[in-house]
Structure 1
Amino acid sequence: MIISLAWRNVWRNKTRSFAVILALSMGLFGALFMASMSNGMVDKWIKSSIENQISDIQVHHAQYLIMEELQLTMDENELTAVLKNNTNIRSYTARIKTDAMAMTANNSTQVSLYGIDPIREMKVTGIFNEMIEGQYLESESKFKPIIVSERLAEKLKVRLKSKIIFTLADKSGNMAYENFKVNGIFDTNNTMFDDRNVFVRRTDLQKILKLDDGQVHEIAIRVANPDVLESTVSVLQHTFTDYKAEDWKEINPTLSMSGSLMKMFNYILVGIVLIALIFGIINTMLMVILERTKEIGMLRSLGMRKKKIAQMITLETIFLCLVGGVVGNLLALVSIEYFGRVGIHFESFKEGMEQFGMSAEVYPSLDYSFYVIITVMVVFTAVFSSIFPVIRAFKLNPALAIRD
């Protein structure tokens, strides 16, 4: 009886109830949509970093990440014998890496020079999908091909088929000067990555650095399923005791921390909105108590206990908040699903966002579990909001209330 009575009481003053429901639903919708945008932005940043840069797992010589010396290499054949038999590994590739000075007639800058196997690299990273001019690294070419970013091409003032001279030290420490021909230009929407990294064929760089066949500095790995990431790292680390296997969270802790912080931020954002709405709900319910003073006094004089009165007021508040919460969740769900497919483009902020490695195209996303948690938060908000109206109702004197 209390439940049906409370539900009917919610709609006794439809205008007021709709106003509260509208305020709550719009507040939740705005908070959830902002949370989904932030979540989508970070998710794409992490996904782009994994696909274009660091991959799921990297293996190095145990001292390489500290010193990054050319002599700190690994035996590719030893690693390959294990990697190809691991069913958790989808693909892998070996790289040679060194720092070099890139020079043209117009400018010069320091870069990280990666020697890659073009075919294998295509199965691990998505740089080949980011080509905006020219072609990916050719298997056969008269000149040594190189692919550079659009930003680096502008800085060095080069274009397709232009030559870039690299100054670098070989394995013995002797300086070498080599010409590379620009074969393609890419753009990953990550300024920090594009400003620094260039790619050449591994066979070309191996000869320049005078490394033996099979000597590599880095193995990049993609796993078949994110759920096996940690176990795969553990197996590799146990197998290769002289090497260091790390997942993307260890390689770039900022990415992992950003994901965790963004989840916390989302809850804080929704919490702030609900706290702000609490005052409006309390005010509305206090008005309800004042309008129904005689009615509550009558119920008290007929023998309804305070506990039942408290339940009725609390249920009214919960129903009011739940309706608003459900409407807000549905609006957010529909909007997030739609814009999650078509995306939102912030072209005017593109340059600034790319400075932090983020794309100007944002695809909002939100876990379905988040909606359930928010609904629970709404219920707690309703219960808290009902405390003050219940206290106000308890203070009513039944005799005076009926007489007034």
Structure 2
Amino acid sequence: MNVGSRLAWRNLWRHSRRTWLTVGAMIFCNVLLVFMISLQLGSYGMMIDNSLGPFTGHAQIQHKDYLDDGKMRQSVPAAAALAQQVRGDIGLESVSARAVGFALASSEERSFGVQISGVQAAYEPLVSTLPGLVAQGRYLSESDNDAIVIGRVLATNLRATLGDEITFLGSGRDGSFAAGVATVVGIVDSGIDDLDRAMAHVPLGWFQEVFAMGDHGHQIVIRFADIDAVTPGLAALAPQLDLGDELVLLDWDALLPGLRQAITSDMASAWMMYGVLVLLVAFSVLNTQLMSVLERTREFGVMLALGMKPSRIARLVGMETLMMAALGLSIGVLGGAAVVAYLSVAGFHFPGMEEMASQFNLPDRIYPEVSALGLLWGPLTVFVMSVFAALYPALRIFRLRPVPAMRAV
């Protein structure tokens, strides 16, 4: 440590209480920022999983035009076989084939338009949260043929209960007239009325027969262990698939482009709040350093009279600020890292979160994301702003004149 550093360290502790109050504010701000940003990043992973869980999955194999047009003829040949290839040859267990169509559903009393999905009963629970939300009856089994699981709102609209038969009328893949009858074996309550109003799951084989699909489907839904595994998982999966020119492998961002925009918007609004917190700390540093410069005006006047350049004194004040900011940064990051490391294992929950999570088949705890971004983004911003806050007190030194400064009271 050179003379300038030792002098800056000594000056920093002339008023230890004031210094510790400023450093304490920086530590509190840094710990809070580390916790909030890490929790926010962790909640985004949970938000993505919850949004993708009911139907979309983390990725899908589709016809190249199906996402934009959604026409029944834009299908995936040998859908069940392709899903089995991904499960068996490539080793991803959470893969299920689906076929999707629209039909007029009729009970004895009413008729409503629905989106009907043919699913693989054994594998659909691995890629969707809906099978875990059956409120009455049961979900589909591999032995089912003409069974159907419908949403709570649709059941109310059709005035259908367990054991009732529902007739479907629609158009097949080849343009033919499609008609079939299925028996209600389960009613799903997802808590989302729009989803429950049009939700109808039937066995894939029955759907293919009724809608003249042959062995075709519309979606091969893939779900990974978590959102962080999607990018490397798809990078490893794509070279092993021979999709030809008609099929594409789409990730969740392509399937739901609005989701990332919502996350970006939420992060921007959160940083407005974080910015206010950072500014408060910056003004605290500014106040501390300005008071330090003002009360040492006579001392600086003597130093100027002895021939020391103003720039050297300004560097001394800047070094004091750097030391104070570095102290707040290091202790704040360590404290924040300890909090986040604990909560990443134990989880964090709000009062009443367990009841809401159980209702929607969601996790009852949020786990903060442990990452360099979460740990350093906020504290480094505080560090930079604190250094900038010391510019004004340091620049005041260039306005000092030796004689008036030594006469200052």
TM-score grouping bracket, smaller chain normalisation:
0.7 to 0.9
**Matched residue, 2:142:** 139
Distance 1:149 1:294, change over 3 A: farther
What is the distance in 2 between the residues matched to 1:190 and 1:330?
42
Q: CA deviation at 1:339?
A: 4.4
What is the distance in 2 between the residues matched to 1:157 and 1:4?
83
Contact 1:190–1:359 (CA under 8 A) maintained in structure 2:
no
Contact 2:347–2:368 (CA under 8 A) maintained in structure 1:
no
> Which whole-Å deviations, capped at 9, do the CAs of 1:333-359 have from their partners, x for residues lacking one?
3444444433323648998xx99x998
Pair 1:275 & 2:279 matched: yes
What is the distance in 2 between the residues matched to 1:385 and 1:43?
35
Contact 1:88–1:232 (CA under 8 A) maintained in structure 2:
no
**Matched residue, 1:249:** 253
Q: CA deviation at 1:228?
A: 3.1
Contact 1:149–1:186 (CA under 8 A) maintained in structure 2:
yes
SS at match of 1:9: helix
SS at match of 1:240: coil
Unaligned runs of 5+ in 1: none
What is the distance in 2 between the residues matched to 1:309 and 1:107?
86
**Matched residue, 2:328:** 324
Contact 2:130–2:188 (CA under 8 A) maintained in structure 1:
no
RMSD of Structure 2 on Structure 1 (CA)? 3.8
Q: TM-score, normalised by structure 1?
A: 0.81
Matched residue type, 1:304: M
Distance 1:234 1:153, change over 3 A: same
> Which whole-Å deviations, capped at 9, do the CAs of 1:69-112 have from their partners, x for residues lacking one?
33333311674686467647555322111123445578765432
Work out the percentage of aligned pairs sharing the same amino acid.
22
Distance 1:366 1:152, change over 3 A: farther
Matching residue within 303, 313, 319 for 2:317:
313
**Matched residue, 1:399:** 403
Pair 1:301 & 2:302 matched: no
Pair 1:292 & 2:289 matched: no
SS at match of 1:390: helix
> Which whole-Å deviations, capped at 9, do the CAs of 1:5-43 have from their partners, x for residues lacking one?
222322222332233233333334444444344333322
What is the distance in 2 between the residues matched to 1:57 and 1:349?
28
**Matched residue, 2:220:** 219
**Matched residue, 1:41:** 43
What is the distance in 2 between the residues matched to 1:358 and 1:222?
16
What is the distance in 2 between the residues matched to 1:202 and 1:133?
22
What is the distance in 2 between the residues matched to 1:333 and 1:313?
30
Distance 1:337 1:72, change over 3 A: same
Distance 1:7 1:87, change over 3 A: farther
**Matched residue, 2:177:** 174
What is the distance in 1 between the residues matched to 2:231 and 2:23?
41
Q: TM-score, normalised by structure 2?
A: 0.80
What is the distance in 2 between the residues matched to 1:200 and 1:2?
78
For 1:199-214, list aligned pairs within 5 A. Answer: 199-212=201-214, 214=215
Contact 1:145–1:180 (CA under 8 A) maintained in structure 2:
yes
Matching residue within 345, 348, 354 for 1:343:
348
> Which whole-Å deviations, capped at 9, do the CAs of 1:202-224 have from their partners, x for residues lacking one?
12222322332x12122223468
**Matched residue, 2:95:** 92
For 1:65-80, list aligned pairs within 5 A. Answer: 65-76=67-78, 79=82
What is the distance in 1 between the residues matched to 2:354 and 2:153?
17
> Which whole-Å deviations, capped at 9, do the CAs of 1:184-236 have from their partners, x for residues lacking one?
5353x656544443322112222322332x12122223468434355367548
Contact 1:56–1:229 (CA under 8 A) maintained in structure 2:
no
What is the distance in 2 between the residues matched to 1:365 and 1:85?
32
**Matched residue, 2:118:** 115
Q: CA deviation at 1:265?
A: 5.1
Q: CA deviation at 1:308?
A: 2.7
What is the distance in 1 between the residues matched to 2:90 and 2:180?
42
Contact 2:75–2:217 (CA under 8 A) maintained in structure 1:
yes
Distance 1:191 1:360, change over 3 A: farther
Q: CA deviation at 1:320?
A: 2.4
